[in-house]
Structure 1
Amino acid sequence: MLSQRMILQTVLASQGRAAQLAAARQSFNLFKTSQQKLRQTGRELPPELAQIVQKAYEGPQGAGPVVDDFIQRLEQTLEQIERQDRRLPDTLAQLVESTDTVLDALNRATTAFDQVTSAQSQAMMRELTGIVNAIQTVAREAKVVSFNAQVMAARAGQHGREFAVVANVLSGITAEIDNLSLKAITLAGPKKTGT
């Protein structure tokens, strides 16, 4: 996880490694930006899904305050490393001690986003199933029209020859629609995992 990488980079930077300080700053900026985007994404979701994210970040066990505290501690630690502040050992120790807490908070947030992704996937599958059902209904109606057209062409004999060509093409189109519908059903169906 990025949070663990930042802590490791910060610990190494505290030992005077300038490259690690730059890497820690870069990871820190990425982490901060990512957290802002995740929170913003939560606000852009439909209300029922936004509520899941909001609860994960702002609820009684919310990840938001923990993540915010972690960001503040890390920024303070990095600044102290840059200034070679004598309080650095205490600040660094507090940062390292907060690792488990922030990881738990991030796991809760990740679980919330997993729930949102699952709900979105299920909604998309329901919509896809509805579309496939509508396509199959149209295909059935087209088959009936094609069959009736073939019957009428046969009754018309020589005069219905051109009409029969159109009816056969329509029959081929409905067969292709059936094939595509079956492929869509297969793709939309539940995935089986191997053991």
Structure 2
Amino acid sequence: MHAETLPPLFVAKSEVKLSGDVFGALINLSGRRRFTSQRVVLYSVLASLGHEDADRTARDALAAFKDAHITLVQGKQGLPGVFCQQLHDAYFGTLQGDKVVRDFIALDESTLDAIGSGSRRAPALLDELVRCATPLLSVLNALTLVYEEQSKRHAALQRRQMQDLMGDIKTIARQARMVAFNAQVVAARAGPVGKEFAVVASTMTNVTGEIDDLVQTVLAGALT
């Protein structure tokens, strides 16, 4: 087996800021990793049957699969790698996602090498590759589900933070409205001398009303 296939075990400690776009890219890459794993197996089988360019296509698909895994685990191209305990558990805990993927990559490389050299070990290796394709897909599906769950949690957290922020703004606006009202009362009592002050107080009242409208608009958007 090709023990040097992937870099050493490494859990990324990235400073990449998580966002909706980042989660979308992670889910997409994890999904493509599932598709590519099946493509690897298919073209490895075709290579064993002597189909033209099947070996090259299988190796290209394996390279893409390997690169996707490294990106998801270690992080690169603006993606964070393993960024939470749930992912760490999925890759290195009970599910052993990282080991399952690494073993699959090593097995396919050995299989393609055996096919290319005409080794008598090729049929047995190919059988093993086909046999492990379904368990691998199950693991990859579980990993993708973790990304989707983390994306939902992040979105919910963002909504709560937005609601808290808007609540603070509403409180400030309410306090400003009280100040404006009191200022209008004082200005009215001051008579002609308080006219300019009354204009300022009225403007402040209008501004707080606009803030209230804006808060409602933002909150409505955050909840959809």
* TM-score bracket, shorter-length normalisation: 0.7 to 0.9
The change in CA–CA distance for 1:150 and 1:68 in structure 2 (over 3 A counts) is: same
Task: Name the counterpart of 2:162.
Answer: 128
Task: Name the counterpart of 1:66.
Answer: 100
Task: Name the counterpart of 1:39.
Answer: 73
Pairwise CA distance, 1:84: 4.5
Task: Name the counterpart of 1:162.
Answer: 196
Pairwise CA distance, 1:18: 4.4
- AA matched with 1:30: A
The change in CA–CA distance for 1:93 and 1:158 in structure 2 (over 3 A counts) is: same
Query: In the comparison of the two structures, how many residue pairs are matched?
Result: 186
In the alignment, structure 1 residue 54 sits paired with structure 2 residue 88: yes
Pairwise CA distance, 1:70: 0.9
- AA matched with 2:147: F
- AA matched with 2:58: A
Q: CA RMSD in A?
A: 2.3
In the alignment, structure 1 residue 137 sits paired with structure 2 residue 171: yes
Report the TM-score, using the length of structure 2 for normalisation.
Answer: 0.72
Pairwise CA distance, 1:184: 2.1
SS at match of 1:98: helix
The change in CA–CA distance for 1:160 and 1:3 in structure 2 (over 3 A counts) is: same
Report the TM-score, using the length of structure 1 for normalisation.
Answer: 0.81
- Which gives a bigger RCO, structure 1 or 2 (Cα 8 Å, sep 6+)? 2
Deviation readout 1:134-169 (Å, 9 max, x if unpaired): 111111111112222222232333333322322222
- AA matched with 1:64: D
In the alignment, structure 1 residue 5 sits paired with structure 2 residue 39: yes
Query: 1: CA distance between counterparts of 2:47 and 2:53?
Result: 7
| Uncovered stretches (5+) of structure 2, i.e. residues with no partner | 1-34
Moved over 6 A (4+): none
Deviation readout 1:8-52 (Å, 9 max, x if unpaired): 23223333444443333232222112212222357652xxxx221
Pairwise CA distance, 1:111: 2.2
The change in CA–CA distance for 1:15 and 1:44 in structure 2 (over 3 A counts) is: closer
Pairwise CA distance, 1:3: 1.1
Which protein has the bigger helix share?
A: 1
In the alignment, structure 1 residue 76 sits paired with structure 2 residue 72: no
Pairwise CA distance, 1:92: 1.9
Query: 1: CA distance between counterparts of 2:218 and 2:204?
Result: 21
Query: 2: CA distance between counterparts of 1:122 and 1:30?
Result: 32
Task: Name the counterpart of 2:128.
Answer: 94
Pairwise CA distance, 1:86: 4.5
Query: 2: CA distance between counterparts of 1:69 and 1:25?
Result: 16
Deviation readout 1:165-191 (Å, 9 max, x if unpaired): 2222222221221112112221232x4
